[in-house]
A = this chain, B = another copy of it.
């Protein structure tokens, strides 16, 4: 793999950015990796771990001379970061992000960037329930999708960013921001909200003790807790900034849930059986499409973590 950018600036050094740094090193994709984070503690950890060539104290300093700038902060912080870095960006640089929603990022970041820059939002569909600079690892993006939202950006700059993500191990797709936000509301945002809710309910129930919930979690509940362990700040911002699509899918969800609830209440076994047979077929399609095996690979990261400890 050959070098794609001379200098990559990573703004924010959490799970995604630290994994990008590890994977950029692995592939030799950049001449230099410069990183920064708002918290001094995070910067110190990054210096200790050494996954950046340089860790600097401000975003303004980090972006100087970088031909790729990656905004890897919570969506709610994007606007302030864009305002801070805008006067310091190198002419012709590409600015991208890794946020879970795209229209809100375009609205927050776009107005700060001048015409001589290439703003190409991105979203790697990869993550674990862990967060912070210690949680990163080079394999995070391998065989995962990364969605780019060029939204009219320069073609050559887009091809270059695509090559970076391919070098990081990802399969790359392009999408409109609105469609991205709807697809993610279905496949990620609403499932996360539901998992959070179910875990909250279980903890709330006085007649079933917490220790029982934990003890018998393998019966199905445990998979919800895994989803519900993700970074609270990131997810707060996702729901606040992808409000419309999430509320739409939630509306459909409660509608269907009420229909199943009614089937339970009225003892309509045929309706339940038909529904469950249908959803089982969807699971088969996912396995046949090669998006999962019988062995769940949500655990891939976990296995990595276990190896380390």
Q: Which residues of A contact B (CB under 8 A)?
A: 76, 125-126, 129-130, 144-145, 179, 182-184, 186-205, 207-208, 210-230, 232-233, 235-237, 239-240, 243, 246-247, 249-250, 252-254, 256-257, 260-261, 264-265, 267, 269, 272-273, 275-280, 282-286, 289, 291-299, 301-303, 305-306
Q: Take A182-B208, A213-B187 as given contacts and tell me if A280 and B250 are in contact as well, using a CB distance cutoff of 8 Å.
A: no
Whether the Cβ atoms of A256 and B295 lie closer than 8 Å is: no
Q: A250-B257, A272-B240 are in contact. Are A203 and B278 (CB under 8 A)?
A: yes
**Residue of B whose beta carbon sits closest to that of A261:** B250
A191, B280: Cβ atoms under 8 Å? no
Copies of the polypeptide in the assembly: 2
Q: How far does the alpha carbon of A126 sit from the alpha carbon of B184 in the complex, in Å? A: 32
Q: Given A186-B208, A232-B276, 18 other A-B contacts at CB below 8 A? A: A125-B218, A145-B216, A188-B221, A203-B278, A205-B252, A214-B289, A223-B226, A225-B283, A225-B292, A228-B280, A232-B277, A237-B269, A243-B267, A250-B257, A293-B302, A295-B299, A295-B302, A296-B298
Taking a contact as CB atoms under 8 Å apart, the answer to whether A200 and B246 are in contact is no
CA distance A221 to B194 in the complex (A): 11
Closest to A276 in B: B232
Which residues of B lie under 8 Å from residue A247 when comparing CB positions?
261, 264-265
13 A-B pairs within 8 Å (CB atoms) are namely: A76-B269, A125-B216, A184-B216, A187-B212, A187-B216, A189-B220, A203-B278, A203-B279, A222-B292, A225-B283, A226-B292, A240-B264, A296-B296
